[in-house]
Structure 1
Amino acid sequence: MKTLIHPTYLPNVAHFVAMMNASELVFEVCDNYQKQTYRNRASIYGANGKLDLNVPVIYTQKNRQLYKDVKIFNIDDWQTQHLKSLESAYRTSPFFEFYIDDLMPLFTSEADTIMDYNFTCLELIFECLQLPLEYKITEEFEPEPKYVIDARLLANSRKEIPQKFKPYAQVFDNKHKFLNNLSILDVLFNEGPNTELYLKSQTIDL
């Protein structure tokens, strides 16, 4: 069955499990943008625990905008800040040096809209996994689509369904124990080539 999902920033494990287990992947590109979601936020494992990375966007609640039209606020040097946070969090992880060069365009090339940037994130991460990114996009917004697995709610951090994934070794787990459902980069930097097998062995609640 098709899986309908949002493109998000450095997607979390739940997003990737849903994508990896999809028989056909469809991205929602016709909805209105919503604040405080994973559309522009990712969570990583910092020295002090969970750390959120937020991409600044130009958006006001008064004037509704389509997700695909929301632009990134590029005045702030947020890409450099995110890269420094990732280096601080993962430079001692087993596979950071192996993948970071492939991901560097995310932090050195200026992005325009948050949706286009999120698709670039997906493409580069799938390349790191050595997997093809095959998908379709929606042509219209359907609040209650039929004959699909609707995984769009995974983007809503305010109504997040708790997920329990199998623990894997994390850089700071001796300080804060295993942190669940972080960005896929947490798995990639810690598990490396085993990431695909790990994702395919997990299930999610929707």
Structure 2
Amino acid sequence: MKKIAILQSNYIPWKGYFDLIAMVDEFIFYDEMQYTKNDWRNRNKIKVNEGSRWLTIPVYSKGFQNSNQQIKDTIISDNSWNLKHWNIIKQYYKKSQYFGDYKLLFEDLFLNKEEKYLCEVNYKFIKAINEILGITTKLSLSTDYQLISGKTERLVDLVKQANGTEYISGPAARDYIDADLFAQENITLSWMDYSGYPEYNQLYPPFDHNVTILDLIFNCGPDAANYMKMVK
């Protein structure tokens, strides 16, 4: 049995994204998809005393409504974004229990950068956070494979090319995935369940699950995985 997940790269994603990675044997970054504005590709939220706050990487676009601009081709438009984000993170997380343990690591990730493309930044952070959480799943790019036409057809074919026997999808894809196409190829189709996460000690109540994984790492440190599913 080989489990596969296929998903667009996101900026410092929430814990559910990393649980999906942990539950499969190969995770394929699907960045040959159209870049979408006001989405998770270039932004995420941190917990602050006023509630939550967006951190957004500014990018160039060709005009989002009629553009075929893909995520993998999306270029960062402001080279100072990283310093701004790091200063904001320090401001709100410096009093968290484990911020000091990870400060140098994330300071290096934010400030020592050479990335031109958004996807490069996303990959870098996701790979580093996987290491912190002890996730050893193989990471691949959709560009490593041949892509055919059709929404579901392409996903099925990617799983076949990766020698997968099970595809785990996020629940939002129920609206468009044709489950019969997976069944025809003897591929098990499973759905990720993001419910039932326990709360942990966040600095600023009320509790919010829908923030970047950095919140969990800075508040729980080596115990972070205990507040996740993290089971294959």
TM-score bracket for this pair, using the shorter chain length: 0.7 to 0.9
Match of 2:218 among 189, 192, 195: 189
- Tell me, yes or no, if the aligned pair for 2:22 and 2:136 is still in contact at 8 Å: no
Distance 1:128 1:143 in 2: 33
Distance 2:70 2:171 in 1: 15
Evaluate the alpha carbon distance shift between residue 29 and residue 65 of structure 1 in structure 2; reply closer, same or farther with a 3 A threshold. same
Evaluate the alpha carbon distance shift between residue 119 and residue 102 of structure 1 in structure 2; reply closer, same or farther with a 3 A threshold. same
Pair 1:70 & 2:70 matched? no
Pair 1:180 & 2:209 matched? yes
- Corresponding residue of 2:229: 200
- Counterpart amino acid of 1:15? Y
Evaluate the alpha carbon distance shift between residue 22 and residue 194 of structure 1 in structure 2; reply closer, same or farther with a 3 A threshold. same
Distance 1:85 1:171 in 2: 15
Q: TM-score, normalised by structure 2?
A: 0.74
- Corresponding residue of 2:115: 111
SS in 1 for 2:44: strand
- Tell me, yes or no, if the aligned pair for 1:94 and 1:191 is still in contact at 8 Å: yes
- Corresponding residue of 1:48: 50
- Counterpart amino acid of 2:202? Q
SS in 2 for 1:192: helix
SS in 1 for 2:55: strand
Please state how far the C-alpha of 1:182 moved relative to its aligned partner.
Answer: 0.9
Kindly provide the CA deviation profile for residues 131-190 of structure 1, in whole angstroms up to 9, marking residues without a partner as x: 435222223265112352233959xxxxxx9855211100112xxx11112100000001
- Tell me, yes or no, if the aligned pair for 2:19 and 2:228 is still in contact at 8 Å: yes
Distance 2:109 2:38 in 1: 21
- Tell me, yes or no, if the aligned pair for 2:25 and 2:137 is still in contact at 8 Å: no
SS in 2 for 1:178: coil
Distance 2:134 2:32 in 1: 29
Pair 1:151 & 2:166 matched? no
Evaluate the alpha carbon distance shift between residue 71 and residue 163 of structure 1 in structure 2; reply closer, same or farther with a 3 A threshold. farther
SS in 2 for 1:3: strand
Evaluate the alpha carbon distance shift between residue 27 and residue 39 of structure 1 in structure 2; reply closer, same or farther with a 3 A threshold. same
Match of 1:26 among 1, 25, 28: 28
Q: Which one has a bigger Cα radius of gyration? A: 2
SS in 1 for 2:228: helix
Please state how far the C-alpha of 1:24 moved relative to its aligned partner.
Answer: 2.8
Match of 1:168 among 180, 185, 200: 200
Please state how far the C-alpha of 1:197 moved relative to its aligned partner.
Answer: 3.0
Distance 2:229 2:171 in 1: 19
SS in 2 for 1:37: coil
- Tell me, yes or no, if the aligned pair for 1:8 and 1:118 is still in contact at 8 Å: yes
Paired residues, what number?
193
SS in 2 for 1:104: helix
Counterparts of 1:73-152 in structure 2 under 5 Å?
73-75=77-79, 77-108=80-111, 109-138=113-142, 139=145, 140=147, 143-144=151-152, 145-146=155-156, 148-151=167-170
Q: TM-score, normalised by structure 1?
A: 0.83
Runs of 5+ unmatched residues, structure 2:
157-165, 174-192
Taking only aligned residues, the RMSD between alpha carbons, in angstroms, comes to 2.5
Question: How many percent of aligned residue pairs carry the same amino acid?
Answer: 24
- Counterpart amino acid of 1:148? Y
- Tell me, yes or no, if the aligned pair for 2:24 and 2:137 is still in contact at 8 Å: no
